[in-house]
């Protein structure tokens, strides 16, 4: 199994110099896991920040995600090689299918087989999926085996706890990575989370991330502010009590914030 750091710096919506600065700050603060994607349009900026950081390549875990236009067998490998060129890397640590092919146009098995080939060619150390429902995870497992799926990256935060997907993934030994872990910042104003944060002399963001980490998830929050990046990283050392964890568990309300028109039928 690959060793994926449980806290990463996300780069969704970060463009140009903002993306470079965020990644540079993250690496300087001690982050060793950077998450990007083809559709983010910032792989070149992430690559520039990685190259300028001076951090040895083997110390940073870098993830990118294959966009839906490149999921066909003959398109996936060339698109991944282009991502590597932009990132100035010889190899990714993790490559994911970003979204399942809209309307099932490209079979899951075709994309997963191409991803597995990419791993065998040394273009990526590990492969996985993102935004996959239970039926789609089953297809991916049937195609390449659960042992070859490093993670399913899904929207996951106190208001959307994705429990059916989480239980299925756990049953098959597939890790979950939580994107949008702070629910676009909505959890920062939550009274329950604020009360726990106040008692522990922590921030609401730290409490939320500590809850996700305690539940066994990897988290990839993003920020353009150095102090927020530092605070998020410090959540790794925050310990919540069973009562705190249960109180946050109770906030689930199936509030999904990311559901484009091409999304699959959610569980």
Please indicate whether residue 40 is annotated as part of the active site: yes
What residue ranges in the chain does DSSP mark as E strands? 9-10, 33-35, 61-66, 94-97, 127-130, 151-155, 175-179, 218-219
Distance CA 185, CA 94 (A): 27
Distance CA 103, CA 108 (A): 11
94-126: string of b/e by CB count within 10 Å (b at 16+)? bbbbbbbbeeeebebebbbebbbebbeeebbbb
42: alpha, beta or left? (left if phi > 0; alpha if psi -120 to 50): alpha
What is the torsional sign of CA 223, 228, 230, 236?
Answer: negative
What SS3 class is residue 35? strand
Question: Of 40, 159, 179, 217, which one is the catalytic site residue?
Answer: 40
Distance CA 70, CA 114 (A): 11
Catalytic amino acids?
40
């Amino acid at each position: 199994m690959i060793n994926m750091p449980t806290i990463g710096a996300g780069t969704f919506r970060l463009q140009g110099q903002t993306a470079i600065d965020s990644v540079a700050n993250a690496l300087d603060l001690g982050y060793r896991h950077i998450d990007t994607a083809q559709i983010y349009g910032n792989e070149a900026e992430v690559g520039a920040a990685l190259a300028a950081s001076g951090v040895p390549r083997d110390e940073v875990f870098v993830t990118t995600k294959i966009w839906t236009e490149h999921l066909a067998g003959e398109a996936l490998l060339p698109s991944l090689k282009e991502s590597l060129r932009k990132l100035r890397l010889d190899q990714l640590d993790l490559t994911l299918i970003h979204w399942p092919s809209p309307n099932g146009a490209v079979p899951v098995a075709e994309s997963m087989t191409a991803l597995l080939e990419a791993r065998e060619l040394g273009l990526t150390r590990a492969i996985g999926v993102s935004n996959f429902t239970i039926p789609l995870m089953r297809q991916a497992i049937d195609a390449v085996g659960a042992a070859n799926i490093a993670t399913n990256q899904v929207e996951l935060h106190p208001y959307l706890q994705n429990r059916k997907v989480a239980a299925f993934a756990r049953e098959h030994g597939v890790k979950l990575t939580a994107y949008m872990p702070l629910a676009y910042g909505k959890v920062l104003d939550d009274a329950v989370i604020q009360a726990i944060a106040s008692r522990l002399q922590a921030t609401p963001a730290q409490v939320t991330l500590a809850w996700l980490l305690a539940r066994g998830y990897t988290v990839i929050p993003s920020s353009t502010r150095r102090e927020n990046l530092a605070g998020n990283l410090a959540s790794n050392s925050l310990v919540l009590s069973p009562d705190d964890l249960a109180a946050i568990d109770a906030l689930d309300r199936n509030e999904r914030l990311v559901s484009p028109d091409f999304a699959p039928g959610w569980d």
